[in-house]
């Protein structure tokens, strides 16, 4: 059963991409990950991002030519905030950059989360399932859903307290019964993986309209399987190694029931039932 829009490609190609100079205004540690805020240059009005779309960040380093893809946590006025983990050379250098450093932002990229039309949104009930830094692209979605009077329940999961992504921010945004927490080490909330509280929620109340999922691929696959078993439509935001970010190089393809799809241009949001999870696992570079 699903009252959620299935117009996942509704924003595909609907906006032209821009490359905008951006200056770092904050770059700080948040437990196990980092928050980067940049102020966009004169053309910031042209970067109209919808929840679920992403940007590619040019690091301004002559030996790191490829831009790095990141979800957008917040975009307000000229300011854009991303949350990042240090995993390789690009993010290591990003961590060490100071205020005032010039970067560039290319976007908006990819499709967006399907959001129920305003006429039918009020009263719908949705689940948001976030694993680790996967909470980032769910933040603007949660705000947009709440603005449409959709009732949102988020299950925020991470390996431990330091990795709970923007826990306080989500606490401020959501009513107390709208947030559940699971940590692998039990340091906050329910001990164990996200599927524990998800099973509980689905057993108690199977009448949600849809679920939006973002996190590590095994977590998304497990959540999607549970949702599917309950007949609950779900959406996932996929991650693949990217080069061009605009659909030209095919380095980011993922296996789906529609064939190989480019995560940067046909996604990153896909209907979970269309993703071929076993093949996706086998074809992951990392």
Ligand X SMILES: Cc1cc2nc3c(=O)[nH]c(=O)nc-3n(C[C@H](O)[C@H](O)[C@H](O)COP(=O)(O)OP(=O)(O)OC[C@H]3O[C@@H](n4cnc5c(N)ncnc54)[C@H](O)[C@@H]3O)c2cc1C
Which residues sit at the interface with ligand X, rule CB under 6 A? 54, 66, 68-71, 82-85, 87-91, 133, 136, 239-242, 268
Which does residue 261 bind out of ligand FES, ligand X, none, counting CB within 5 to 8 angstroms by kind?
none
Identity of the residue, 209 or 266, whose beta carbon is nearer to ligand FES in the bound complex: 266
Binding to ligand FES by residue 243, rule CB under 6 A?
A: yes
Any idea which residue has 């789906």 for tokens? Answer: 256
Tell me the number of residues near ligand FES by CB under 6 A: 13
Rounded (5°) CA angle 110-115-116: 155
Token pair for 56: 């590619």
Q: Which of 212, 262, 268, 270 binds ligand FES (CB under 6 A)?
A: 262
Which does residue 84 bind out of ligand FES, ligand X, none, counting CB within 5 to 8 angstroms by kind?
ligand X
DSSP bridge partners of 76: 79
Q: 227-231, long-range: CB within 8 Å, 24+ apart, which pairs?
A: 227/127, 227/202, 227/272, 228/272, 228/273, 230/202, 230/206, 231/1, 231/206
In angstroms, what CA-CA distances link 283 with 2, 10, 40, 256? Answer: 30, 28, 36, 12
Q: Which of 74, 85, 228, 251 binds ligand FES (CB under 6 A)?
A: 251
Identity of the residue, 94 or 264, whose beta carbon is nearer to ligand FES in the bound complex: 264
The phi-psi region of residue 60 (left if phi > 0; otherwise alpha if psi is between -120 and 50; otherwise beta) is left
Identity of the residue, 2 or 74, whose beta carbon is nearer to ligand X in the bound complex: 74
Identity of the residue, 33 or 208, whose beta carbon is nearer to ligand X in the bound complex: 33
Token pair for 174: 């959501």
DSSP bridge partners of 269: 237
Q: Which of 115, 232, 264, 272 binds ligand FES (CB under 6 A)?
A: 264
Choose one: 21-29, 36-44, 106-114, 241-249; the region binding ligand FES (CB under 6 A): 241-249
CB of 13 vs ligand FES, minimal distance in Å: 14
Q: Which of 252, 269, 272, 275 binds ligand FES (CB under 6 A)?
A: 252
Which does residue 247 bind out of ligand FES, ligand X, none, counting CB within 5 to 8 angstroms by kind?
ligand FES
| Closest C-alpha among 71, 69, 67 to residue 51 | 71
Which 95-154 positions form the footprint of ligand FES (CB under 6 A)?
A: none
Binding to ligand FES by residue 245, rule CB under 6 A?
A: yes
**Residues contacting 170, CB < 8 A, separation 6+:** 135, 139, 142, 154, 156, 179
Identity of the residue, 124 or 234, whose beta carbon is nearer to ligand X in the bound complex: 234
Provide the CA 175 distance to its chain's centre, in angstroms. Answer: 21
Site residues (CB under 6 A) for ligand FES? 242-245, 247-252, 262, 264-265
């Amino acid at each position: 059963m699903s009252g959620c829009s299935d117009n996942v490609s509704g924003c595909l190609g609907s906006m032209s991409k821009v490359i905008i100079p951006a200056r770092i205004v904050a770059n700080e540690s948040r437990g196990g990950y980092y928050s980067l805020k940049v102020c966009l240059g004169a053309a910031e009005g042209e970067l109209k991002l919808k929840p679920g779309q992403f940007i590619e960040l040019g690091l301004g380093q002559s030996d790191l030519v490829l831009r790095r893809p990141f979800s957008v946590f917040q975009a307000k006025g000229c300011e854009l905030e991303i949350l990042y983990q240090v995993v390789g050379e690009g993010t290591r250098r990003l961590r060490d950059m100071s205020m005032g450093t010039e970067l560039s932002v290319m976007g908006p990229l990819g499709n967006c989360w399907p959001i129920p039309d305003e006429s039918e949104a009020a009263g719908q009930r949705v689940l948001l399932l976030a694993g680790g830094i996967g909470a980032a692209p769910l933040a603007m979605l949660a705000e947009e859903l709440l603005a449409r009077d959709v009732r949102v329940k988020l299950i925020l999961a991470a390996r431990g307290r330091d990795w709970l992504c923007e826990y306080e921010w989500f606490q401020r945004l959501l009513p107390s019964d709208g947030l559940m927490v699971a940590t692998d080490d039990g340091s906050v909330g329910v001990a164990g993986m996200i599927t524990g509280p998800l099973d509980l929620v689905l057993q108690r109340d199977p009448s949600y309209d849809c679920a939006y999922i973002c996190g590590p691929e095994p977590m998304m696959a497990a959540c999607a399987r549970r949702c599917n078993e309950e007949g609950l439509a779900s959406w996932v935001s996929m991650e693949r190694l990217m080069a061009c970010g605009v659909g030209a190089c095919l380095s980011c393809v993922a296996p789906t029931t529609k064939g190989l799809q480019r995560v940067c241009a046909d996604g990153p949001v896909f209907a979970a039932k269309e993703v071929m999870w076993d093949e996706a696992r086998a074809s992951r570079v990392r």
